[in-house]
Amino acid sequence: MARTEIRDADRAEVADFIERFWGSKISMSHGKAFYPHKEQGFVERRDGAIVGLLTYHLDEEGMEVLTLNSTLEGEGIGSSLMLNAIEAARKKGCRKIWLATTNDRLRVIEFYQRLGFRMTAINLGVVDEARKVKPQIPVVGERGVPVHDEVVMELAIEPYLDS
């Protein structure tokens, strides 16, 4: 098992991984298109293959998690990658880390709540608008739930203080 920050040499493989899990190389958040393979993040490999990936975008507000995927369910890869991201956010002086998911992703919402994230907004109809940019977003999601809205989840963090 090897977890590293995404390097330039990883970008093409990361782009393929994102396309496999997200239907395209684009991820949408708050109506904005991101290209996660061009952003920062962490990759976990086993036998040379990517088994986990987390990508994020930094701005003046803090760290936004764009994608999180694991190919091996129940092995703690997603949790471990998130803990790496939280640690990175602290080191970079961020006061919060947030993400957006869709209204159908109840298991994902539960996962983030177990890590201490709180729901801070529900952006009604944002996913319907995002389909104009990324038509690969499904109309019906997990367990047959219609996908229309974006759920924003946030974790307040204390950055490390320079001594």
Assigned CATH topology for domain 2-156: Aminopeptidase (3.40.630)
What's the pLDDT at 160?
Answer: 73
Mean of pLDDT values over 31-39: 93
Residue 150 CB neighbour total at 10 angstroms: 22
- When pLDDT is cut at 50, 70 and 90, the band that residue 114 belongs to is very high
Q: What one-letter code names the amino acid at 121?
A: A
Quote the tokens at residue 17.
Answer: 């991984």
- The answer for residues whose C-beta is within 8 angstroms of residue 141's C-beta and 6 or more apart is 102, 103, 104, 105, 147
pTM for this prediction: 0.91
**Residue ranges with strand state E in 60-162:** 62-70, 96-102, 118-123, 150-156
- % of the chain exceeding 90 in pLDDT: 88
Q: Is the pLDDT of residue 73 over 70?
A: yes
| CA 153-125-35 angle, 5° bins | 60
Nearest to 64 by CA among 91, 31, 41: 41
